[in-house]
Structure formats: structure tokens, C-alpha cells
């Protein structure tokens, strides 16, 4: 088919076959051959770069794939054998080494029965996979144990992606089939007393290690179950790590320390997976140890370092639609629990009302995250949430409530090269007429791209003096004026 943008791959008609200009037409055949057609007008040059169609395929070569398949079949058979010969009740209490020994013995027996010889590596892989199957989460186990993996994303049994350093990669890990995948999903959700099936096709849960888990099963998931896991990091990235990674600058860290210590209300805004929770967690390290902190989350992810922390996890309704404890319920209750600070993992619904009220009425120093792509959007998002919570309030009143509740918006972003950075720190300074006035204090200034598409840029102050300078000074955080001076581009 002819496409204006398609690359011209067919040979261009040879100019020599055309009659010379002005020459009398030769006795042309009744049906001239196609190549003798008059020259096409030159094709417009595409302004776009050619896009490389890069099918996401895993690396394994044919031979390797076959080998894996053979081991997969063996594993299945061995697994069946194992389930027959193991006493599942005793399994619960078996020590890891006992179970491994048992598995080794059964593998040896079956392999010799079948006259199959495996090399030492294949054999230990097989034993490990069997162990993971019986005790852990099957094929996912290796990825869960891989420290470099942040997210695990399963699109049906044969396609598992991981996120490493902000980039998605297809792995060669697969499930045998949808049934196998469902078995693992069931194992996870039944461990937390939940169920997932056709009538209840999606579920949130927390894995034993604290990782956040979400699954959606067919028929809603069309090509097989969809699973997303946000791995739990035992050692959450702290302020120093984030500064070292280039997520923000030392100057920004000093400013944020003053902001959190002097109890400004902070909202971390950002897209999905942009590092909001990580930033919130890092910011919380600036809270003094003698404060009573209450945290409210859908899935407990925050790891606060302070001594006096009360953690709450909201609960969705059960199969009969009962038993829900919404974030708003938790928040209302938290206000009766004498908190010094309230941290809400993510504000996405009607709890926004109580959050704003809490921030306005004595629980300053509270923090939360919202989904938004820039600080201005963040404010609109808050306004929309208030409107959707069914509160009949004039827009100006909503805005004035927001402007007096929120002091600081911290923008987290995942940039196109996979790096996560704090791209803006913006203060809310009040209202000007009907509009909330804001001033950006720090930002990430992009300069360009390296040949391998890494972003070049630097953090800089905008030169605007902080609205809270006086407050910082009174609380003993005398930030030098040089902190707020813009950094010249190198």
C-alpha cells in the first residue's frame, strides 16, 4: 500500500529508461511497461526520525529456549511427583534445609527413573525452581529476590517485564500456562484472606516481604492475568542516597529539611512510579523523634525511622461488599488519636476534605502525595477531588482552603531516560483574586541530551526568596541567601 511516510524500499525507476526530454516519442507499445511510467514527483522528505520497530522480545536463543522448555516439562512432572510424595501438612513446619534435601532426593529419583542426565547447573536450577514452587511464588521468586528489580509486571503467563533503573525490560521468565499463573495469584491472595475469581476479578494485597501486589484476572484481563508488583525495598532510599543519585541537590535537601522541621504542610506530586512514596519517606526523616506520627496508606509502604509511629492500612470491601474501612475513615479516626503529624500515603478521593481540614486545623506538618504532572496540575487535582467528594462550595472558597492548607508542592518526575528527579519545589503563597499564587523556588533545568539519550541538566534555585524565610529563621533554620541564588549553566 502507498504511504506518504513509508520508507521507499522499492528501487527507483531507472532514469535511463525514460525518453530524453523533447525527443519524439518512440513508437510506444500499446501498454507501456510499468517502469516506463512518467517519473513520480519527488517524495516529501519525512521530518521525523525513522522509528525503529522494536518488538519486545526476550534474549534466549533457540537452543537455550528448547533447553528451558525441556527443563520446564521435567519440572512440572517433578512438581506433581513432589506433591504426591510430600506430606503437605508437615511441609508447613519443615525447615528450609529439610525441604531442600527432600526435593533433591525426589529429583534424583525421578531423573534416574527417566534416564535423564542434567548438568550440575541445570540440576541446581531445577531444584531451586521446585523449591520456589512449593514454598514461594514460583517463577516470580527469582525476580523478587533480585535487588536491582523495582517493579514486576506480568502480562499473561508468557510475558513478564521488570523495571530496572527506571527502564522496562522483558525477562525470559515465564509461567507454564494461565493455570500456573492463577495458582500463584491464588496462593498470594489467599494468604491475606482474599479471593480472586471471575466474579471478583481484581485484588490488592501485600506480599509477605511487604511488596505491593495487584492482580486482575480474566475475563477482565483479556490475554491472561495481569499482575503488578512494586517491590518493597528494605532499605528505603534516604535523603543522602537521593542526593547522591542526583534526584535533587544538597541545597534542595537543606531547604526541605527546614520546611519539614518547621512543620510546613507538604504535598509530593508526581506521575505513577515517579518516586512519590520514596520522596515522602525520605522527607519524613526530617521529623523530630519526639513527635507522634500517624500514617494512613492503602498498602503500608512507608518506613518511618521515628519511635512514635502509628500505622494504619485502609481496607477495601469484602466479597459481600462489607467491611470497608476507607482512607477517609482512617483519617477521621486519626484526628481523634492525638497526632502531631498525619501522613497519608496517597490522597486520591474524598479523604482530601479531611486532609485539608487537618492541615488547616492544628495538624500542620502533615504530608501526602497526589498524582499530578506539575505543581499547577496538582492544585487542579486537589480542586477536582474536593468537587468530586460532593462538597458544594464555591471554587474560590475551595481555593482559599487549599491555599491556606498546603504550603509546599514537591514535584517528583520520572524522566524519559528512566532517571527519577525532583523537578520542582514550589511554595504556595496565598491567593491573588480568585487564583492561588505560587512561586517556584528550585527546579531541574534541562539542557539537552547526550548521544545515548541521557538527560543533561542541573538543579538550580530560581532566585526567588522563600516566602517562609522568616519562619525558618524563627525556628532556627537560618538558610544562607546563597542557597536561593540561581546556578549558572556550565
Ligand X SMILES: Nc1ncnc2c1ncn2[C@@H]1O[C@H](COP(=O)(O)OP(=O)(O)OP(=O)(O)O)[C@@H](O)[C@H]1O
Nearer to ligand X, 83 or 168 (CB): 168
Strand partners, 425: 410, 442
Interface mask toward Mg ion for 98-127; x: CB under 5 A: ------------------------------
Phi, psi (degrees; rounded to nearest 5) at 381: -65, -45
Q: Which three cell numbers stand for residue 279?
A: 520522596
Q: If you write DSSP's letter for every residue of 331-400 in order, what string do you get?
A: HHHHTTS--SEEEES---STHHHHHHHHHHTT--S-EEEEE-SSHHHHHHHHHHHHHHTT----HHHHHH
Interface mask toward Mg ion for 342-371; x: CB under 5 A: ------------------------------
Query: What is the Cα gyration radius of the chain?
Result: 30
Site for ligand X in 398-437 (CB under 6 A): 420
**Which residue bears the cell 485484588?**
203
Is 245 a binding residue for ligand X by CB under 6 A? The answer is yes
Name the segment binding ligand X (CB under 6 A); options: 191-199, 272-280, 376-384, 396-404: 272-280
Binding residue (CB under 6 A) for ligand X from 265, 269, 278, 413: 278
Binding residue (CB under 6 A) for ligand X from 71, 140, 203, 247: 247
Q: If you write DSSP's letter for every residue of 191-260 in order, what string do you get?
A: HTT---BTTB-EEEEE-TTS-EEEEE-TTTSTTS-EEEEEPPPSS---HHHHHHHTSS-HHHHHHHHHHH
Nearer to ligand X, 374 or 400 (CB): 374
Contacts of 490 (CB under 8 A, 6+ apart): 458
Q: How far is CA 270 from CA 55, 262, 414, in A?
A: 29, 23, 8
Q: CB of 274: closest distance to ligand X in angstroms?
A: 4
Is 381 a binding residue for ligand X by CB under 6 A? The answer is no
Smallest CA-to-CA distance from 208 within 226, 196, 195, 190 is with: 190
Q: Is the distance from CB of 130 to CB of 100 less than 8 angstroms? A: no
User: Is the alpha carbon torsion for 358, 360, 363, 368 positive or negative?
Assistant: positive
Q: Residue 206 binds what, of ligand X, Mg ion, none (CB under 5 to 8 Å, by partner type)? A: none
Binding residue (CB under 6 A) for ligand X from 68, 123, 176, 233: 233
Binding residue (CB under 6 A) for ligand X from 79, 180, 230, 399: 230
Neighbours of 485 (CB within 10 A): 13
Nearer to ligand X, 185 or 247 (CB): 247
Q: At what angle do helices 395-405 and 375-388 cross, to 10 degrees?
A: 120
Smallest CA-to-CA distance from 169 within 56, 64, 274, 51 is with: 56
Is 242 a binding residue for ligand X by CB under 6 A? The answer is yes
Contacts of 104 (CB under 8 A, 6+ apart): 127
Q: CB of 247: closest distance to ligand X in angstroms?
A: 3
Is 258 a binding residue for ligand X by CB under 6 A? The answer is no
Name the segment binding ligand X (CB under 6 A); options: 46-54, 81-89, 275-283, 358-366: 275-283
DSSP element (H, E) containing 291: none
Distance, CA of 7 to CA of 91 (rounded, Å) = 61
Q: Residue 420 binds what, of Mg ion, ligand X, none (CB under 5 to 8 Å, by partner type)? A: ligand X
User: Is the alpha carbon torsion for 477, 280, 348, 168 positive or negative?
Assistant: positive
Site for Mg ion in 222-281 (CB under 5 A): 276-277
Site for ligand X in 133-162 (CB under 6 A): 150
Nearer to ligand X, 107 or 269 (CB): 269
Q: Residue 79 binds what, of Mg ion, ligand X, none (CB under 5 to 8 Å, by partner type)? A: none
Q: How many chain residues touch Mg ion (CB under 5 A)? A: 2
Q: How far is CA 250 from CA 155, 244, 284, 442, 464, in A?
A: 40, 9, 17, 12, 18
Interface mask toward Mg ion for 273-302; x: CB under 5 A: ---xx-------------------------
Q: CB of 220: closest distance to ligand X in angstroms?
A: 20
Q: 372: buried, middle or exposed (CB in 10 Å: 19+, 13-18, 0-12)?
A: buried
Residue nearest to Mg ion (CB): 277
Is 274 a binding residue for ligand X by CB under 6 A? The answer is yes
Q: Is the distance from CB of 467 to CB of 427 less than 8 angstroms? A: yes
Q: Residue 274 binds what, of Mg ion, ligand X, none (CB under 5 to 8 Å, by partner type)? A: ligand X
Nearer to ligand X, 227 or 436 (CB): 227
Is 209 a binding residue for ligand X by CB under 6 A? The answer is no
Nearer to ligand X, 139 or 275 (CB): 275
Name the segment binding ligand X (CB under 6 A); options: 92-100, 218-226, 229-237, 468-476: 229-237
Is 272 a binding residue for ligand X by CB under 6 A? The answer is yes
Q: CB of 360: closest distance to ligand X in angstroms?
A: 25
Distance, CA of 218 to CA of 196 (rounded, Å) = 10
Is 276 a binding residue for ligand X by CB under 6 A? The answer is yes
Q: How many chain residues touch ligand X (CB under 6 A)? A: 16
Q: Residue 262 binds what, of Mg ion, ligand X, none (CB under 5 to 8 Å, by partner type)? A: none
Smallest CA-to-CA distance from 428 within 378, 387, 478 is with: 378
Nearer to Mg ion, 276 or 363 (CB): 276
Which spans of this chain sit near ligand X (rule: CB under 6 A)?
Answer: 150, 230, 233, 237, 242, 245, 247, 270, 272-278, 420
Which spans of this chain sit near Mg ion (rule: CB under 5 A)?
Answer: 276-277
Amino acid at each position: 500500500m502507498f504511504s506518504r511516510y513509508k520508507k521507499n524500499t522499492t528501487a527507483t525507476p531507472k532514469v535511463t529508461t525514460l525518453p530524453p526530454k523533447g525527443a519524439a516519442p518512440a513508437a510506444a507499445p500499446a501498454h507501456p511497461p510499468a517502469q516506463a511510467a512518467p517519473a513520480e514527483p519527488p517524495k516529501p522528505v519525512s521530518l521525523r526520525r525513522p522509528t525503529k520497530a522494536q518488538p519486545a522480545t526476550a534474549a534466549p536463543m533457540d537452543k537455550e529456549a528448547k533447553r528451558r522448555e525441556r527443563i520446564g516439562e521435567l519440572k512440572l512432572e517433578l512438581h506433581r511427583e513432589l506433591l504426591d510424595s510430600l506430606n503437605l501438612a508437615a511441609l508447613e513446619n519443615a525447615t528450609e534445609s529439610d525441604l531442600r534435601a527432600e526435593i533433591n532426593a525426589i529429583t534424583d529419583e525421578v531423573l534416574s527413573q527417566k534416564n535423564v542426565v542434567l548438568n550440575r547447573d541445570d540440576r541446581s536450577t531445577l531444584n531451586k525452581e521446585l523449591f520456589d514452587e512449593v514454598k514461594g511464588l514460583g517463577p516470580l521468586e527469582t525476580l523478587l529476590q533480585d535487588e536491582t528489580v523495582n517493579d514486576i509486571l506480568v502480562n499473561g503467563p508468557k510475558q513478564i517485564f521488570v523495571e530496572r533503573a527506571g527502564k522496562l525490560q522483558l525477562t525470559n521468565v515465564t509461567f507454564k500456562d494461565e493455570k500456573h499463573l492463577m495458582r500463584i495469584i491464588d496462593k498470594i491472595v489467599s494468604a491475606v484472606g482474599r479471593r480472586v475469581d471471575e466474579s471478583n476479578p481484581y485484588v490488592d494485597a501485600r506480599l509477605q516481604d511487604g511488596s505491593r501486589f495487584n492482580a486482575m484476572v480474566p475475563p477482565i484481563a483479556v490475554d491472561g492475568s495481569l499482575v503488578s508488583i512494586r517491590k518493597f525495598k528494605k532499605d528505603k532510599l534516604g535523603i543522602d542516597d537521593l542526593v547522591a543519585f542526583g534526584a535533587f541537590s544538597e541545597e534542595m535537601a537543606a531547604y526541605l529539611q527546614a520546611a519539614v522541621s518547621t512543620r510546613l504542610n507538604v504535598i509530593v506530586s508526581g506521575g505513577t512510579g515517579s518516586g512519590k512514596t520514596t520522596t515522602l519517606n525520605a522527607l519524613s526523616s526530617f521529623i523530630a523523634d519526639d513527635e507522634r506520627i500517624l500514617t494512613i496508606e492503602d498498602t503500608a509502604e512507608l518506613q518511618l525511622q521515628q519511635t512514635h509511629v502509628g500505622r494504619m492500612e485502609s481496607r477495601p470491601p469484602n466479597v459481600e461488599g462489607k467491611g470497608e474501612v476507607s482512607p477517609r475513615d482512617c483519617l477521621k479516626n486519626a484526628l481523634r488519636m492525638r497526632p502531631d503529624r498525619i501522613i497519608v500515603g496517597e490522597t486520591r478521593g474524598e479523604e482530601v476534605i479531611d486532609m485539608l481540614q487537618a492541615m488547616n486545623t492544628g495538624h500542620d506538618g502533615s504530608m501526602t502525595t497526589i498524582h499530578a504532572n506539575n505543581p499547577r496540575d496538582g492544585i487542579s487535582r486537589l480542586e477536582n477531588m474536593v468537587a468530586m467528594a460532593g462538597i458544594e462550595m464555591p471554587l474560590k472558597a475551595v481555593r482559599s482552603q487549599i491555599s491556606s492548607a498546603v504550603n509546599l508542592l514537591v514535584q517528583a518526575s520520572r524522566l524519559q531516560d528512566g532517571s527519577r528527579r525532583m523537578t520542582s519545589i514550589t511554595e504556595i503563597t496565598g491567593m491573588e483574586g480568585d487564583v492561588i499564587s505560587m512561586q517556584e523556588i528550585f527546579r531541574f533545568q534541562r539542557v539537552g541530551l547526550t548521544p545515548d539519550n541521557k538527560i543533561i541538566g542541573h538543579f538550580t534555585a530560581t532566585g526567588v526568596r522563600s516566602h517562609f524565610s522568616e519562619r525558618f529563621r524563627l525556628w532556627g533554620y537560618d538558610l544562607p541567601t546563597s542557597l536561593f541564588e540561581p546556578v549558572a549553566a556550565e
